[in-house]
Amino acid sequence: MELADEAARCSSSVEMEVVSVEGEEIQPEEFGKESGWCEVRRGAKTQASRLPNRPTEDYRVIVRPHGGLNVSEYRMDRIYCCLRSAAGVGRETAEEDSMCINNTQNILVISTPSEERARRYGAITRLRIGEKEFETSAYRAAPENTSKGLIQGGSKEESPEDITGKKLYTQALRRRRLLAFSARDNILSNLVRPQNPGVLHAKRMGNTDNVIVLFEGFHVPRYVKYGAMLVKCTLYRKHIDVCYGCGRLGHRADVGPNPNDKVCRGCGSKNPAQDHMCEVECQLCGKDHPTGDKRCKARYNIAYLVRRRRWERTRREEEEARAACVEACYKYNDFSGLHSNGHKEPTSKQKRGNLQQFVINREAPDVIALQETGGRAKLSGYKSYSTSGEKGTVTTLVHRNLAVVEHDTGMRSIDHVLIEKIPSRKGEGSLFVLNIYSPPRHKPKFGPLFRKALSIADRQALVIVGDFNTPHAAWGYSIENIKGRNLWTAAQQEGLTLITNPEAPTRIGNSVSNDTTPDLTFTKNVPDSRWVNTQKNFGSDHYIVVTTVHGGPQKKKGRKLALVEWDTFRKIREEDGEETILDIETWAEKLQQSHGPQQPTRQIGDAYFRPRDNSIPPPRVDVAGTNESFAAYVASRY
C-alpha cells in the first residue's frame, strides 16, 4: 500500500507542480462577495419538460389556461372532468383520448384519434373548476415530420374570408390532419396554393406582423410565393419562454400560474420591493441584461433542422474519414516495407507455397477459410469464393471435387462469405460454412448476420469461423468491450456452440500485448466436431486452426456372417450312422449337443442385413460349389 501511495505521489509530481502554503484564519464577516469571494457552485438549471410520445396519427390539442390557473395545484382527474365538461364529450367516448399535464409550461396536452372530438377540445374558451372560472385558449399542435418557417412584414388587416385559395387550404388541412379552430388565428391561406406545394398551414404570431408557415418534410425554402409576390422565408427558431409577470423561465406571461409570486429578472430574488436595486445578470447567458431580454442571444433554441444537418454532416464526415483511413491502410499495405535481410516477411507467393505444401503433406481439407486476404486468394486444386471488390478481406477455398453453392445474405456491414456444401449421397444433409472478418475498430452487431445465416441453413449443420477481434472473458481475454459483449450475447441468443479452446491462443503477442484468441469457431446443429490449434503460422501472427466436422448418415454397426459347410456336415452325419427318430425335440437336442461344437462354419466380414436384392442367389442351394461362390459374393458386397 505504501508503494502504491508513493507511486501516486511521484506520478502527480511529474504532471503538475504542487506548492504548499500556510493558511490564516478569517472571520465569517470576511467571507462574502464584498471581500472578494465568489460562489463556485453553479445554480441548478431548469430542465426541459418532455411529455411521453403519443401515436403520430392522433390529433394533438394544446390548451393554455389564463387568469392565474396553476394546473399543478389540482388533481389530474378533476382537470380531466372539467375539460370533458367544457368540450361536451362523454366519459365513455373520451376513453380513447389521452391527456397530459405539463407543469413547467403550465399547459394541457390532449391527444385524440377523433377529428370531431379534436374540434370540440379546440373550441374550449373557458374552464370551470369548482366555483372559479378561467379563460383558456386552444390550438392544434404541428404534426410529425414537418418544419416551420417565418415570414416577416405580413398585413395585420387580412382575414380568412378575404384571402384567396380557400379550397386548396382546406385540402391541405385534410391532407396533414390540421384543424382551424377560430378566425382569431388569422390563417393566411393564400400561401397554400400550387406554387407552394410544400406549404401545409400558416398562422400569425399573436398580434405581430410575423407569420409562421408550416412545411411538409424537413426542408424550409428561402422564398415562398405570397399571392403574386415572392417573400423571403427564414427558419423559425423557438425561443425559451420567459414570464415577464413573475420573472420565471418555462412559461409565458399569459399562462403564469402565480401572478402574485414574482421573481426579479435581474438577480432572481423573490418578491422584490419597488425600490429594489441589484446587479442585473441574465439567467440564460450570464451577461448584464435582464433574463430573456431581446439582446440575449441565448433565448433562442437551436432549430431541429440545424441539429439534424449537423448530425448528418458529422456522420458523413466520419464515414468519409473511415473510408479514407481504410484506403490509406490498403495503400500502406501495398508498399514494400523496409526490413533487414535476415528478417524478411514472407510474400503472398511464399505464403501460398507454404500453404500448398501444408495441404499436400496431410489430408487435403474440404474447405479453407482465409481472412485479411486483401483480394481474391487462389490455391491449386481449390475453387475461390471471396467478398466483392478487389480489396476483399475474406476468401473461402473449396475443394474442386465438391459441389458448392454460394449464398447472399444481403448484409453489407460485415465482410463475410456463406457457402453451402451439397451432399454427395442421398439422405445426407448440407454443410454451411460462414467465414467472417471484422477489423478491431469496427463495431458491428453480429446478431442479424447470425439469424440470416441460420435462416438460410434451415436447421442443417452450420459452422461459423473467422477473425472477430472481440475481447471477451468467454474466450480467454482479460478485458472485454461492447463489441465482445454483443458477439457473446448474439451467440447465446442464437444457440451457437463455441468449440474454440481459450487455453490455446490463436494470435501471437508482442512486447506490448499478450497472446489472444481473436479467431473463433461456432457451430449449430453439428453433433460431432473437433477443434485443433496446429501451432503453425507460416510467417503470419495467426496460427492455423483445423476444425473437423462429422456429418452425414451414420453407418450401422454390422456382425460377423457365419456360413455353414453343409457338405462337411453331411459327411460327419454319414460317419455317425442313422438312427430311428422317436421324438423330434429329443433328436434335435441330441444332434445339437453332439455336432454343434464341431459344426463347420466360416466368418465372412462385417455385414448388416439390407433389403432383399434380386441379384443375390437364394441361400439354400444343393449344387456343389455354389455355396463358396455365394460366400465370395457376400464378402465382395459387404
166 pLDDT tier (thresholds 50, 70, 90): very low
Pair 533, 499: CB distance under 8 Å:
no
- For the cut 80, the answer to whether the pLDDT of residue 39 exceeds it is no
Continuous H helices in 176-219: none
- Asked if residue 536 and residue 462 are part of one domain, the reply reads yes
What pLDDT is recorded for position 635?
A: 46
- What distance in Å separates the CA atoms of residue 202 and residue 219, rounded to the nearest whole number? 16
Pair 218, 305: CB distance under 8 Å:
yes
- Asked if residue 155 and residue 119 are part of one domain, the reply reads no
Question: In this prediction, what percent of the chain has a pLDDT beyond 70?
Answer: 68
Measured CA distances, 108 to 70, 114, 342 (Å): 11, 18, 80
DSSP 260: S
Instruction: Indicate whether 414 belongs to any domain.
Output: yes
Instruction: Indicate whether 15 belongs to any domain.
Output: no
- Asked if residue 567 and residue 538 are part of one domain, the reply reads no
Instruction: Indicate whether 329 belongs to any domain.
Output: no
Task: Select the more confidently predicted residue: 383 or 340.
Answer: 383
Whole-angstrom distance between the N-terminal and C-terminal Cα of the chain?
76
Q: What are phi and psi of 334, to 5 degrees?
A: -75, -25
Q: Which of 137, 157, 134 is nearest to 207 (CA)?
A: 157
Task: Select the more confidently predicted residue: 358 or 372.
Answer: 372
Task: Select the more confidently predicted residue: 94 or 419.
Answer: 419
Type of residue numbered 451: R
Rounded CA Rg of the chain: 43
Average of per-residue pLDDT across 345-368: 71
Nearest-5° Cα angle at 636, 634 to 638: 65
Cell, residue 593: 449337443
| CB under 8 A, 24+ apart: contacts of 222-231 | 224/149, 224/151, 224/191, 224/196, 224/199, 225/191, 225/193, 225/195, 225/196, 226/151, 226/154, 226/188, 226/190, 226/191, 227/164, 227/190, 231/151, 231/153
Indicate the average pLDDT of the chain. 74
- For the cut 60, the answer to whether the pLDDT of residue 636 exceeds it is no
Q: Which of 85, 106, 140 is the last residue of a domain?
A: 140
- Asked if residue 544 and residue 409 are part of one domain, the reply reads yes
| Centroid of chain to Cα 192 | 41
For the chain, helix (H) and strand (E) counts, in that order, are 11, 24
What pLDDT is recorded for position 32?
A: 62
- Asked if residue 156 and residue 134 are part of one domain, the reply reads no
36 pLDDT tier (thresholds 50, 70, 90): low
Instruction: Indicate whether 257 belongs to any domain.
Output: no
Lowest mean pLDDT among 157-161, 478-482, 544-548: 157-161
- For the cut 90, the answer to whether the pLDDT of residue 618 exceeds it is no
- What distance in Å separates the CA atoms of residue 76 and residue 99, rounded to the nearest whole number? 9
| CATH number (domain holding residue 94) | 3.30.70.330
Task: Select the more confidently predicted residue: 92 or 287.
Answer: 92
Question: If you average pLDDT over each of 49-53, 207-211, 310-314, 454-458, which comes out highest?
Answer: 454-458
- What distance in Å separates the CA atoms of residue 121 and residue 85, rounded to the nearest whole number? 10
- For the cut 50, the answer to whether the pLDDT of residue 616 exceeds it is no
Instruction: Indicate whether 66 belongs to any domain.
Output: yes
- What distance in Å separates the CA atoms of residue 530 and residue 13, rounded to the nearest whole number? 55
Instruction: Indicate whether 471 belongs to any domain.
Output: yes
Pair 619, 630: CB distance under 8 Å:
yes
- Asked if residue 202 and residue 128 are part of one domain, the reply reads no
Continuous H helices in 499-620: 566-576, 584-595
- Asked if residue 123 and residue 173 are part of one domain, the reply reads no
Tally of CB atoms within 10 A around 278? 12
Torsion angle, alpha carbons of 627, 631, 633, 635, to 10: 180
- Asked if residue 497 and residue 428 are part of one domain, the reply reads yes
| CATH number (domain holding residue 480) | 3.60.10.10
- Asked if residue 495 and residue 590 are part of one domain, the reply reads no
Which domain range does residue 209 map to?
146-235
Q: Which of 94, 117, 140 is the last residue of a domain?
A: 140
Tell me which residue has cell 507455397. Answer: 353
Domain count, the chain: 4
- Asked if residue 424 and residue 472 are part of one domain, the reply reads yes
Instruction: Indicate whether 418 belongs to any domain.
Output: yes
Average of per-residue pLDDT across 456-484: 91
Lowest mean pLDDT among 54-68, 288-302, 427-441: 288-302
Q: Which of 235, 262, 281 is the last residue of a domain?
A: 235
Measured CA distances, 492 to 55, 487, 567 (Å): 35, 9, 67
- Asked if residue 151 and residue 135 are part of one domain, the reply reads no
- For the cut 90, the answer to whether the pLDDT of residue 555 exceeds it is no
- What distance in Å separates the CA atoms of residue 501 and residue 531, rounded to the nearest whole number? 8
Question: In this prediction, what percent of the chain has a pLDDT beyond 90?
Answer: 12
- Asked if residue 122 and residue 153 are part of one domain, the reply reads no
Instruction: Indicate whether 347 belongs to any domain.
Output: no
Mention every residue, 6+ apart, whose C-beta is less than 8 A from residue 472: 480, 484, 485, 487, 488
What pLDDT is recorded for position 45?
A: 52
